[in-house]
Structure 1
Amino acid sequence: MMKNIMIITRALTYGGAERVAASLASYLTAYYNVDLVVIDGDKQSYHTTANTIYLGQSVIHKGKGINRILWFVNLYKKIIRLRKSKKYECVISFLTEPELMNALTSQFGKSITSIRNVRSSVVCGRIKKIRDKWVFFKMDGIVSLSENAKKDLVENYDVKPDKIRVIYNICDKEYIWDEISKGIIENDISEWLGSGKVFVTTGRLSEQKAQWHMIRAFAGVAKKHPDVKLAILGRGEQEEYLSNLIGELDMAEQIRVLGFKSNPYIYLSKAYCFLFSSVFEGLGNSIVEAMACGLPVISTDCNAGPRELLSPDSSLETKIDKIELAEYGILTPVCDGIHRSGNDALTSAEEELKKAIELMVENEAIYKNYKQKSTERGEQFDIESIVNQWISVIEQ
C-alpha cells in the first residue's frame, strides 16, 4: 500500500516555489498518495494532478496583533486535524508559513522542508532567526535548492550538514514544449515579439529580482541597437517603479512589462536571450526553464544559484567585478539593489551587464555557442533523476 504524503504550500498563484510544489506533487503521485495542501483560496495558476485541499486562509490578509495570532491558530488547527486524520508518513513544506506549521505538528510524522533561497538574505531580525533555527531543528530533513543555500543554513542557522540534501528543481522539458505548442500570445504582443532581437526575463517584480538594473543597462544597448527589445514577465510590488523608470528612459517601445503569464514558455520560445538580474537567489529556476527553451543566458553572479548553473566547476566563493564568459552562460557582477532614476549614471555592475547584453547582440559566435550550451545544460535537470532524489529523502 502506498504511503500518504502531504505537500503544503501558500498558494498556487504565481510564485516559483508554488509552481515547484505543484509539479512535485504531480510527479510523486506515481509513488505515493499525495495531498497538495494550499493555505490560500482556490485560485490556481499552476496545474497539478495531485489531490488538492484548499484551506481558504488568505496569506496576504493575515492582519496584525490578535487577528494575526488567530490566523495562525486557525491554520494550526486545520493542519493538525489533517495530520491526525490522514496519518501522513511525511509532510513536505514550501515557504515560511507552511514550514512553521510543519514544525509545530512534526510529532505526527516525518517533516521535511524545502529551502528556496539563502535564508539569511531573505529573513532579517533576531526573533525571526530564532524562529527559523527552531523550525530547522524540528525538521527530520531539509532540502536545499543550491549548495550556497546549504552553506548558509550551516553557517547561520547551526544546521548539521548531514541533515541537508541539495536537490535542484525539476525541468520537465516535455511539458514545457507541450505548453509552447499550445500557447497563444495576444495579437499586439505577438507582433511586437516577432520583430527584432527580444531579450526576456521572468519572475516576481520584487526587490530580490531587481529588474530595474536590467532596464537601466538595457536602455543603453537599445539606444545603440534600435532593433533590440526587453520583455519583462511577472507581477509584484515593484511594477509601478519599473513602469515609471521605463517612461523616464523613453523606452516604452523597446521595453515592456507584460505582467504574469500562466504559460511563460511560449514567450521564452519567441525570445533571443534570457536576462536575470537578481541580487540574491536560492537557485534561479527561471534560468533552468530558459535553458530548456534553448535560450542563451546572462545572469548576475548573485548568491546563490546562477554560478552553480552557469559555471558548475568553479568555486562558489568566486567574486567578480567584470563579466565572466562562463561555461554555460555569461555571469555579471551582482548589482547593489538600490533604486535609481533614469537620469542617474549606470553603476559599475550595470555597465558590465550592459557589456554582456551588447556582446550577445554583436558577437554571433558567442551567441550561438551559448545557445547550444544552454540546451546541453538544460538536459541535466531531468525528471527521473530529481524525483528519485526526493524519494530517497522521503524514505531515509
Structure 2
Amino acid sequence: MIVMKLVFITPGMTFGGAERVISILSNIWCDMGHDVSIFITSSDKPSAYRLNEKVKVEYYDDYRVDGVSHFKLISSIRDFVDKENSDCVLSFMNDVCAYTILSLTGKNIPIIYSERNDPNKTNQSKVDKIFRKIVEFGASHIVFQTEGAKQCYSKKVQRKSSIILNPVELSRIPERKKEDINYSEIVTVARLEPQKNQELLIDAFNIVSNKHKDVVLKIFGEGSLKKKLQNRIDELGLKDKVYLMGTKSDVLNWIKESYCFVLTSDFEGLPNSLIEAMCMGIPCISTDCSPGGARQLLSDDRGLIVPCGDKERLAEAINIYLENKDIAAQYGQAAYGLRKEIDCNKVAKEWLKLMEKIVRGEN
C-alpha cells in the first residue's frame, strides 16, 4: 500500500450527500495511515459530520467569490495544495473542481472529480458549462455513481472514468425489528427543494388516504419549499395526516420503524437517504429519476420504481405495500442485501486502489 497525502477541495461540510461521503472517506483513510486534508472554499461553518481528529481542515479566508476574488481563490487553493505536499486532489463539485484545475495548471498533481448528480439537469448556466469543459479537459479522472451519469459525457471522458457507489457506515444504521414496525407510517427524507418534488408525494398520498384512513406521511427535511408544501397539505385537508418533520440529526432512528420509504425526486445522483432506508430493510419506492441511480439501486426486485411526476402510479405502488405485507417484506429483505455492496470500508478501498493507479501514472 502506498501511503498518500490526499486533499479534498469542497465548498463546505454542512449537511449533504457529498459532504457525508467526504467525511466517511476521510475518516477511514486516516485510520489506514493516509494523510487527509480538507480545504473549504465557500463556508466558515464547521463540519456537520464527525471528522477524525487527524483530518486537517482549513478555510478559505474570503469565501465570497465575486469578480475580483476568483484569482485569490485560485491562488489560495494552489498554496494549500503546495503546503500539504499533496499526492492527489479530489473535488465533488463542478465549479470548485474547475478552480482547482486552474490553480494546479503546470503541476503534476492528479485531480479527481466526482460527479454527484444528473449532468444534464445541473450546472446549466453559461458559466457552469464553461466550468464543466474545464473539468472534462483538466481532470485526471472522473468518478461516477451511475452508468447513466457516465453516458452523459463524451467517449474521451468515459475512457478516464470509473463507477464507485456511495459508502455507508453500516455501524450507524440502526436495527429494524419486525415487532416495532408501524404499518401505518410512510416516510421520506430529502431537502424541501423543487428537485425532490415532495408535492408529488403529498398528492399521491391524498389518493392513498382516501382508501387507507389510518396511514400517515412524515416528510423529513428543510428547504425553500416548506411553506408551499404546508399550504398544499392544508389545501388537501391533510394536516392531521401529513407532517413536515424538519431536519433531525438522528433521522435514521426516526424512520427505522416506518413501514415504507418513498423518494420522489425528478433527478438525483445516488440518493443516500434511499440507500440508508434499504440498508435497514425498509420496503422502498422511488420515481425513475434521471440519470438512473434509483433504478440501479432498486433493480433485482429490491424495490418499486414508478414514472416521475405520476401521482396515480405512485399511489398504486404505495397501495401495493399497504395491502400486501408479505410482498413488502420480500422487497425489504432484498433491499437489505445492498449492504454488502456499499459497506464504507469496501468503497474506501476501491477509491484507494484507483488513486494508487493514478498516482503511479497508470490511469
TM-score scaled to structure 1, two decimals? 0.82
1:389 is matched by which residue type in structure 2?
A: E
Distance of aligned partners of 1:126 and 1:217 in 2 relative to their CA distance in 1, 3 Å threshold? same
CA distance in 2 between partners of 1:329 and 1:197 (Å) = 19
Matches for 1:151-170 after TM superposition, within 5 Å: 151-154=151-154, 159-170=156-167
Q: When the two structures are aligned, how many residues end up with a matched partner?
A: 348
After TM superposition, give the deviation of residue 294 of structure 1 in Å. Answer: 1.5
Q: 1:169 to 1:58 in 2, by over 3 A?
A: farther
- Which has the larger displacement, 94-103 or 109-118? 94-103
Q: Which residue of 2 is the match for residue 308 of structure 1?
A: 296
Q: Shift of the alpha carbon at 1:306?
A: 0.9
Give the corresponding residue for 1:241.
228
Distance 1:70 1:230, change over 3 A: farther
In structure 2, do the counterparts of structure 1 residues 230 and 174 end up closer, same or farther at CA, with 3 Å as the change threshold?
A: same
Query: Who is 1:205 aligned against?
Result: 192
Change (3 A) 1:195 1:303: closer
Cα shift readout 1:51-89 (whole Å, capped 9, x = no counterpart)? 242415686xx4xxxx61234333223211101111101
Matched ranges for 1:166-245 at <5 A: 166-177=163-174, 197-245=184-232
SS of equivalent to 2:66: helix
State yes or no: 1:101 paired with 2:99. Answer: yes
**Which amino acid is the alignment partner of residue 149 of structure 1?**
A
Give 2:282's aligned residue.
295
Judged with a 3 Å threshold, the aligned counterparts in structure 2 of structure 1 residues 259 and 159 are, in CA distance, closer, same or farther, namely farther
**Cα pair 1:10 1:97 within 8 Å, conserved:** no
- 2: distance between equivalents of 1:240 and 1:221? 23
Aligned counterparts, 1:47-66, within 5 A: 47-49=50-52, 50-55=54-59, 62=64
Q: Is the Cα–Cα contact under 8 Å of residues 266 and 287 in structure 2 kept in the other structure?
A: yes
Say if 1:38 and 1:52, in contact at 8 Å, map to a contact too: no
- Cα distance, 1:105 vs. partner? 2.3
CA offset digits 1:105-125 (Å, max 9, x no partner): 233411001100121211213
Residue 41 of structure 1 and its aligned partner are, at CA, apart by 1.2
Check the 8 A contact 2:90/2:112 in 1, yes or no.
yes
Report the residue type matching 2:7 in the other structure: M
Tell me the alpha carbon deviations over residues 34-58 of structure 1, each in whole angstroms, 9 at most, x when there is no partner: 0122231133321121524241568
Q: SS at 1:257's partner residue?
A: strand
Tell whether the 8 Å contact from 1:137 to 1:159 is kept in structure 2 after alignment. no
Counterpart-to-counterpart distance in 2, 1:105 and 1:162: 24
1:16 aligns with 2:21: no
Q: 3-state SS of the aligned residue for 2:237? A: coil
TM-score, scaled relative to structure 2 = 0.89
Show the counterpart of 2:318. 357
Determine if the alignment matches structure 1 residue 119 to structure 2 residue 119.
yes
Conserved in 2, the CA contact under 8 Å of 1:55 and 1:78?
A: no
Shift of 1:138: 0.4
Q: 2:48 aligns with which of 45, 48, 58?
A: 45
1 CA distance for matches of 2:173 and 2:69?
Answer: 37
Task: Please report how far the alpha carbon of residue 31 of structure 1 lies from its aligned counterpart in structure 2 after TM superposition.
Answer: 4.1
Contact 1:14 1:260 in 2 (8 A): no
- Whole-angstrom distance in 2 between the partners of 1:164 and 1:374: 27
Matched with 1:380 is: 341
CA RMSD of aligned residues (A): 2.3
Match of 1:333 in 2: 307
- The aligned residue for residue 25 of structure 1 is 26
Confirm or deny that 1:85 pairs with 2:89. Answer: no
Counterpart among 255, 259, 279 of residue 242 in structure 2: 255
Q: Which runs of 5+ in 2 are unaligned?
A: 358-363
SS at match of 2:195: coil
Letter in 2 for 1:24: L
**C-alpha distance in structure 1 between counterparts of 2:215 and 2:171, whole Å:** 29
Distance 1:248 1:71, change over 3 A: farther
Match of 2:361 in 1: none
Distance 1:75 1:215, change over 3 A: same
The residue type equivalent to 1:135 in the other structure is: V
CA shift, 1:277, in A, is 0.4
The answer to whether the Cα contact below 8 Å between 2:60 and 2:76 also exists between their aligned partners in 1 is no
CA drift at 1:216:
0.8
Q: Partner of 1:18: helix, strand, or coil?
A: helix
Distance 1:18 1:266 in 2: 21
Label 1:365 to 1:28 Cα distance change in 2 as closer, same or farther (>3 A).
same
Percent identity, please.
30
Separation of aligned partners in 1, 2:258 and 2:70: 43
